[in-house]
A and B are shown apart, each in its own frame.
Chain A
Amino acid sequence: SQKIEQNSEALNIQEGKTATLTCNYTNYSPAYLQWYRQDPGRGPVFLLLIRENEKEKRKERLKVTFDTTLKQSLFHITASQPADSATYLCALGESSGGYQKVTFGIGTKLQVIP
């Protein structure tokens, strides 16, 4: 069966350190993978998209890697700040019946401790 797994339900990290979140998937052939941030009671906010033929993407303090052989994406936040505390969702994008279909993982809750 298809599965998207994100590492540990919650991740606590000291301010200033690099947070690394993992997204593993099985039985998907994603054309791209996205990372979103979601705050409590709010809709997700798009952060980064990486395509199947890309290995790494960066945006300011964020870095995403995508390994289609391992079926894994890593999401890094460098120099983490308390304001980075949120739930981070990975999402896989596939073509399905002419539409782009995005399936979300359950998310990892990141807590950055001052």
Chain B
Amino acid sequence: GAVVSQHPSRVICKSGTSVKIECRSLDFQATTMFWYRQFPKKSLMLMATSNEGSKATYEQGVEKDKFLINHASLTLSTLTVTSAHPEDSSFYICSGEPGTGYTDTQYFGPGTRLTVL
């Protein structure tokens, strides 16, 4: 149980375009979802936390207008990288936290490799 999927797994785009990444919890309801970014040989860096139906909370240094997060339902969150640039190339990973009774544990998706040319 506790499976999270991400789509797409890999995406290559041109500089200036926008890319949407989907994160779905397949067998549980994720009251909270997290978005992380991981550069090679670096730790996962939390970008934002979102609760279903409310605005995401962004970490310091993360531009909310560039990284748009929508948590429309208890099983789906999307991250849109707007006007992507080569420095946005990274591994983006989402995770979901189930509700009451399963707090403090996050279940991660397989990640999305974004390459901006």
Contacts and interface: CB of A to CB of B under 8 A. Distances in A.
A43 B104 contact: no
Secondary structure of the B contact surface, majority rule: strand
B43 interface: yes
Given A42-B111, A49-B104, A105-B43, 18 more contacts: A34-B104, A41-B91, A41-B111, A42-B110, A43-B108, A43-B111, A44-B44, A44-B108, A45-B108, A46-B106, A46-B108, A97-B57, A99-B32, A100-B103, A100-B104, A102-B34, A104-B44, A106-B43
A49 B97 CA distance: 14
Interface of B: 4, 6, 32, 34, 41-46, 49, 57, 91, 93, 95, 97, 103-111, 113
A58 interface: no
Contacts of A100: 97, 103-104
A105 B106 CA distance: 16
Given A43-B93, A101-B46, A105-B43, A93 B107 contact: no
Q: Bin the interface of chain A by size.
A: 20 to 34
Contacts of B6: 43
B105 A89 contact: no
Nearest to A42: B110
B43 A99 contact: no
Contact of A89 (B43, B97, B109): B43
A97 B110 CA distance: 28
A104 B93 CA distance: 13
A41 B9 CA distance: 10
Contacts of B95: 43
- Report the 5 A-B pairs with minimum CB-CB distance, sorted nearest first: A43-B108, A106-B43, A104-B44, A104-B43, A43-B111
A70 B6 CA distance: 38
Contacts of B4: 43
Contacts of B46: 101-103
Nearest to B107: A46
